[in-house]
Amino acid sequence: MNPKEYLLSIESSTIKLGLDRTIDLMNACGNPQNDLPVIQIAGTNGKGSTAAMMAKILEYTGYKVGLSTSPHLVDVNERIRINGVAISDESIEEFIQLYKSDIERISASFFESVTAMGFWYFKKNDVDIAIMETGLGGRLDSVTICNPILTVITAISLDHTEILGDTIEKIAFEKAGIMKNGITCVTSPQQKNAFSVLQQQAKIHDCELILSDENLLQNTNPSLTGKYQFENACLAATSLKHLKDINISDESIKQGIEQTTWHGRNEIIQNEPLVIFDVAHNESGIEGFLDYFNSINDSGTSILIISLQRRKNIMNVVPQLLNTFDYIICCETDNLRTMTLGEMETQLGKSDKVFYIQSAKDAISKGLTFLKSDSDKMAIVGTHHFGKPITNIFNISFNTL
């Protein structure tokens, strides 16, 4: 088993929250996170997009930038990048050789191990700033072991309710767990109840809470399309404007936001007929995608390929999906937590316009047969795990940013 296969082999079907194992593992690694300048990002949707835009802006400013995100689309290397270039297989092998015994001694999870590897790799390569995306929640997430120079919170909505809590207030409390004493926190506009929780926690931590400012993006056209991506861009720009001792020019913000590549976000992977890939995987994310999709055009046949992770509930947006698409094809993807076809049928029901096909590759191939004219369009939505079948069918790569 090679080092990458070993790393993937410890991916668990269960999520392990808590910092004890991460603390142990980071101690074994020499605690590279302690003096690493980190920007930590939490939130429900938009974390990866916001992180990618911030990284690109900092690159245009001349910094060496580490970027840690999750999950990956095809290759685990995608999760750890420096100035857009993914960690090499050789560096993964070096990390595993050094710390495999510690990973096993601690029973560290896949995410804990990858987080530790990110901190180790960024410190080893002397990045100027590391942007770290929180995996789940915030308060008990592995990334929260860092000493950030800035914290950032994207839009908060209901997701992972079985783990983070069944109300927006409980989820906001978990996200606010990334706040550190005296360290500025920048947030997207939030629902009233969520924002109240953030205000309370900011007061407890004696940290300034700043709301993102859309005025920073005048005359800027974000490369990532859709209303919610504009909100993410505003958050990225506002956050970097509030970095202490670092001057980010308006021109760097404009260039970075207009040149960001972030795969699987309203991404056009084929034209005429149009095929779009979006990893939206909860109700608010799917609503955001539909807002974008419905703005494109209303002619031709519309096809949806959808797969979800277990425990996702999209019942509230099912009527919108049925109204938007002429045909919906549900499928499973090749991962431990995929929702079964039976579980998907519980949410989307039985209909002449809804099909259930086991394989994601077969589902996408079936969808393509419905595309008869250049005005037709197809969306592939619901999970990062569509990455592999998409690369195989459309012969494209997600490696380059």
Q: In this predicted model, what pLDDT tens digit does every residue of 168-181 receive, in sequence order? A: 999 999 999 999 99
The tens place of each residue's pLDDT in the chain, 401 residues long, gives 788 889 888 876 556 678 999 999 999 999 999 999 999 999 998 999 999 999 999 999 999 999 999 999 999 999 999 999 999 999 999 999 999 999 999 999 999 999 999 999 999 999 999 999 998 888 999 999 999 999 999 999 876 656 666 799 999 999 999 999 999 999 999 999 999 999 999 999 999 999 999 888 988 999 999 889 999 999 999 999 999 888 899 999 999 999 999 999 999 999 999 999 999 988 988 999 999 999 987 789 999 999 998 888 888 999 999 999 999 999 999 888 899 999 999 999 998 999 999 999 999 999 999 999 999 999 999 999 999 999 999 999 988 88
pTM of the model: 0.93
**φ/ψ of residue 269, rounded to 5:** -105, -5
Asked if 252 contacts 236 with a C-beta cutoff of 8 angstroms, the reply is no
Between vectors from CA 45 to CA 53 and to CA 226, what angle results, nearest 5°? 65
| Cα 19 to chain centroid, rounded | 21
Place of tokens 């999520």: 15
Q: Which two tokens stand for residue 250?
A: 């308006």
Closest to 285 in 3D by CA, of 400, 350, 382: 382
What is the dihedral angle through the alpha carbons of 85, 35, 32, 153, rounded to the nearest 10 degrees?
-60
Residue 20 belongs to what H/E stretch?
helix 20-28
User: How are beta strands 38-42 and 129-133 bridged, if at all?
Assistant: parallel
